[in-house]
């Protein structure tokens, strides 16, 4: 494997850590490379409250990119999905609490 190939493969996978606490995410922006394999670690710290992280093409949440598993806090879950190949600004939210949302930026 050439160094260039290794670098290209490294850029194709990214890990995102996101915390849900006090009915909010700890970030309002998730940025990943186009086409990347995205590993998302959700840390739900809200006792007895279900949260997930789901990704949609836009804030209408009509077309899903990836629907995250719901977990009831305190709990953690790790999931993997493939980011869109097309760069752009997409959307993420907790499906139970859509006010917990942000920009999913693919670049
Ligand atoms: Cu929630």
Domains and CATH numbers, the chain: 3-106 (2.60.40.420)
* pTM to 2 decimal places: 0.90
pLDDT of res. 11: 61
Residue 29 Cα to chain centre, angstroms: 9
Measured in Å, residue 106 CA sits from the centre of ligand 1 at 23
**Model confidence at 37, in pLDDT bands (50, 70, 90)?**
very high
Measured in Å, residue 50 CA sits from the centre of ligand 1 at 6
Asked if pLDDT for residue 28 goes beyond 70, the answer is yes
User: Which neighbouring-strand residues pair with 102?
Assistant: 92
Nearest-angstrom CA–CA distance, 15 and 18: 10
Measured in Å, residue 100 CA sits from the centre of ligand 1 at 7
- Tens of pLDDT, residue by residue over 57-101, are 999 999 999 999 999 999 999 999 999 999 999 999 999 999 999
């Amino acid at each position: 494997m050439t160094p260039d190939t290794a670098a290209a493969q490294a850029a194709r996978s990214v890990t995102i850590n996101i915390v849900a606490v006090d009915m909010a995410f700890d970030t309002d922006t998730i940025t990943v490379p186009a086409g990347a394999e995205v590993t998302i670690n959700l840390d739900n710290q809200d006792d007895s409250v279900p949260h997930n992280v789901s990704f949609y093409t836009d804030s209408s949440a009509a077309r899903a990119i990836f629907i995250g598993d719901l977990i009831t806090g305190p709990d953690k879950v790790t999931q993997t999905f493939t980011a869109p190949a097309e760069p752009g600004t997409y959307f993420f939210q907790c499906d139970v609490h859509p006010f917990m949302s942000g920009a999913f930026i693919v670049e």
